[in-house]
Amino acid sequence: MTTASLPHGHTARRVLRLSLALLLAALSAPLLAANPPPAVSNIPATPAPSDPLAAMAPVELATPDSAPIAEQLQALQAASAAPSTSTRVKTVLQRAFALLGTPYRWGGSSPDGGFDCSGLVGYVFRSIGIDLPRVSRAMANEGVAITDRTALAEGDLVFFGRRGRVDHVGIYVGDGKFLHAPRTGRDVTVSSLTSGYWAQKYMEARRVAVGG
């Protein structure tokens, strides 16, 4: 079947997924060469698909909880190019962005089964050998508190909640954006920390030491 014969929505989504897959591959090469991922026994290994698009779940183009795909790609490029970001933090960001489009599942902690918010964050940090508590409330006690929102840096954990109680977590990716697993019916995505729903629910941030 040729591209011209595909329905318009399917063609657009396939092109966008291919763009994201190619960008991830290009940005991953120097990082993986400088900092090969450690073996992590509690993350199940999955065989590499023959089709590069098979590894990327569909990314919604626009939802109340997500930035348009162009903004997500810009966030990935900016985070990877940030001169102040260490190689280890860039590795965290690479692995987080590779999970864009993975479905939300309450209690989920793997790409195959889906993620909830803390399952996603825990999975990404375990991939570089850092174990975090399983729930967002406990994660909010890790690392060093960042009290000034303008001092946030790529790789920081950002927390949200209501009535003074943390109930959501994501990974800050720079430029006022963070990556997270929002809620049932949504996929792993990039959202704004400076406006809209999540800006109103923001509570605090923590910086976990990841090394150079």
Cα–Cα distance, 204 to 199 (Å, whole number) = 11
Is residue 49 situated within a structural domain? Answer: no
SS3 for 38?
Answer: coil
The CATH number that applies at residue 118 is 3.90.1720.10
Fill in the amino acid letter for 178.
Answer: F
Catalytic residues: 117, 168, 180
Give the C-alpha separation, 89 to 153, whole Å.
10
Given a contact cutoff of 8 angstroms between Cβ atoms, the answer to whether 191 and 180 are in contact is yes
- Residue 65 is predicted with a pLDDT of 58
pTM comes to: 0.68
Question: Is the pLDDT at 9 greater than 60, yes or no?
Answer: no
Q: What is the mean pLDDT of the chain?
A: 76
Question: Two tokens at 146?
Answer: 């960042």
Q: What is the pLDDT of residue 98?
A: 93
Residue 63: inside a domain, yes or no?
yes
Q: How far apart are CA 143 and CA 208, in angstroms?
A: 4
Question: What local confidence, expressed as pLDDT, does residue 21 receive?
Answer: 54
**Can you tell me the distance from the alpha carbon of 201 to that of 169, in angstroms, rounded to the nearest whole number?**
11
- The answer to whether position 96 is within a domain reads yes
In a domain, 173, yes or no: yes
| Span 135-139, average pLDDT | 97
What pLDDT is attached to residue 37? Answer: 46
User: Which band of pLDDT confidence, cut at 50, 70 and 90, is reported for residue 70?
Assistant: low
More confident site: 195 or 48: 195
97 inside domain? yes
What dihedral angle (degrees, nearest 10) is formed by the CA atoms of 91, 62, 148, 96? Answer: -10
- Return the sign of the alpha-carbon dihedral for residues 129, 133, 139, 141: negative
Residue 87 pLDDT grade (very low, low, confident, very high; cuts 50, 70, 90): confident
CA 144 to chain centre: 21
Residue 20's pLDDT band (cuts 50, 70, 90): low
Residue-number span of the structural domain to which 106 is assigned? 3-42+58-207
Chain mean position to CA 114: 13
Domain-located, residue 66: yes
Q: How confident is the model at residue 57 (pLDDT cuts 50, 70, 90)?
A: very low
pLDDT band at 43 (very low <50, low <70, confident <90, very high): very low
Look at residue 88 and tell me if it is in a domain: yes
Mean pLDDT (whole number) for 43-71? 44
Instruction: Report the alpha-carbon distance of residue 143 to residue 171 in Å, rounded.
Output: 14
16 within domain boundaries: yes
How many structural domains are present in the chain? 1
90, 80 Cβ separation under 8 angstroms: yes
pLDDT score for 63: 43
